[in-house]
């Protein structure tokens, strides 16, 4: 149903209308005419975007309080979102995941690439955790959840409101159960032969990082007979996959006691607890301590948080990645493997690879890059939006 009463917003003459017509999904605040009427729109308002000649370009969600003032919802369209609109996009996303994965544990909605800008939904069997990271998704949360339940049959939906993205949109940080009853305790998730424990209400992000699934699998191919060190391990991501792949032992390092407790629980569920240890502490301090103890490992993995979440933090973040690479390289046995990861979209692959190479060199080591990994196929990449290709995993042999 078309809605001619929708407000209209207009691009400035110097805005890159061609990029938007070719699929770029965002309009920045300096590209839009922000008169008094536009500034008065409530965050999350759906409007018709026009070019500078007033020709309609599509349906957008507007947030005058955000640097990303418009997010494209439907190029060329003028139909406001309703439950059927959401259902069509969720069904399309679901058809891909069901083709890729035998069990319903995956990222179901990956924001712009699945046609729902700023919306992330991770599925854990009969439970979904949703991150409505844009103002419009918060406004339309009710029909979104109704469509999600209708299409998937999911009974429990949890809203996770943590994260930097919601802060930038001016949204609250209240995590709550939207429907159904949250599971008691951690939810087991089977991946790559290991059992992971996901805390869906109190854990990091949605409770588990599905994006690293293919990189866990590649690391497991390097693991038979190896001593493994997994730094910034969260709930044991790389370590448990390596043990399932035949590693002799694995040590997980993280600063979070609850995360390590979940890792230990996962090790027991995976039947590898006798080969698994944890050490709580600052990653840099712990790597320095291990080096001081003369420890070396056949496979070392570092999967830190985003050190460069924005362009403003890029240089500082690259120095941090270089430091990680240097300290980790010192712990790799001769002929061993080093895996270095980044989830910072501001640090592109070339810059990240350069920082890692510098760090390895400063450790007095030489390495060859044997594999470059990215997020799994349940995290599709929108080619026009570089930010959607945030995850990089570099596999070196030293």
Q: Under a CB-based contact definition with an 8 Å cutoff, are residues 283 and 253 in contact?
A: yes
Catalytic residues: 343
**Residue 148 carries which DSSP code?**
H
With tokens 């536009």, the residue in question is 38
The rounded distance, in Å, linking the Cα atoms of 174 and 130 is: 12
Torsion from C-alpha of 167, 170, 174, 175, nearest 10 degrees: -60
Other CB atoms within 10 A of residue 356 CB: 28
Count H helices, E strands: the chain? 12, 19
Integer angstrom CA distances of residue 288 from 93, 225, 349: 44, 25, 27
* Residue of 56, 79, 63, 106 whose CA lies nearest to 375: 106
**Residue 274 carries which DSSP code?**
G
| Percent of the chain as helix, strand, coil, to the nearest 5 | 35, 30, 35
């Amino acid at each position: 149903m078309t809605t001619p009463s929708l407000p209209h917003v207009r691009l400035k003459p110097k805005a890159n209308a061609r990029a938007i017509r070719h699929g770029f999904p965002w309009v920045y605040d300096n590209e839009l005419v922000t008169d008094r009427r536009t500034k008065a729109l409530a965050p999350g308002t759906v409007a018709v975007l026009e070019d500078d000649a007033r020709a309609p370009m599509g349906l957008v969600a507007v947030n005058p309080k955000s640097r990303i003032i418009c997010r494209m919802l439907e190029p060329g369209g003028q139909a406001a979102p309703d439950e059927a609109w959401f259902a069509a996009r969720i069904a399309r996303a679901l058809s891909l995941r069901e083709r890729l994965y035998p069990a319903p544990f995956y990222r179901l909605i990956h924001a712009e690439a699945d046609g729902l800008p700023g919306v992330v939904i991770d599925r854990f069997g009969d439970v979904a955790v949703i991150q409505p990271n844009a103002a419009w998704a918060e406004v339309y949360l009710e029909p979104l959840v109704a469509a999600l339940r209708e299409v998937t049959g999911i009974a429990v939906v949890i809203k996770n409101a943590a994260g930097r993205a919601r802060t930038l949109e001016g949204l609250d940080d209240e995590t709550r159960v939207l429907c159904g009853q949250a599971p008691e305790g951690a939810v087991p998730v089977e991946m790559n032969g290991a059992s992971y424990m996901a805390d869906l209400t109190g854990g990091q992000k949605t409770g588990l990082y599905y994006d690293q699934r293919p990189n866990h699998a590649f690391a497991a191919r390097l693991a038979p007979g190896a001593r493994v060190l997994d730094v910034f391990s969260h709930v044991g991501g790389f370590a448990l996959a390596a043990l399932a792949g035949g590693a002799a032992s694995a040590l997980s390092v993280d600063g979070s006691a609850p995360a390590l407790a979940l890792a230990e629980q996962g090790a027991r569920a995976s039947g590898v607890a006798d080969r698994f240890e944890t050490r709580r502490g600052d990653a840099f301090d712990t790597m320095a301590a291990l080096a001081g103890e003369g420890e070396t490992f056949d496979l070392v993995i570092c999967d830190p948080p985003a050190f460069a979440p924005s362009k403003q933090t890029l240089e500082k973040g690259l120095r941090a990645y270089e430091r990680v690479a240097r300290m980790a390289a010192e712990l790799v046995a001769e002929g061993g493997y080093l895996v270095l990861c980044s989830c910072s979209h501001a640090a592109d692959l070339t810059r990240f690879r350069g920082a890692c190479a510098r760090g390895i060199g400063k450790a007095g080591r030489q390495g060859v890059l044997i594999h470059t990994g990215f997020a799994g196929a349940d995290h599709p990449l929108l080619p026009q939006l570089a930010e959607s290709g945030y995850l990089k995993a570099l596999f070196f042999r030293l």
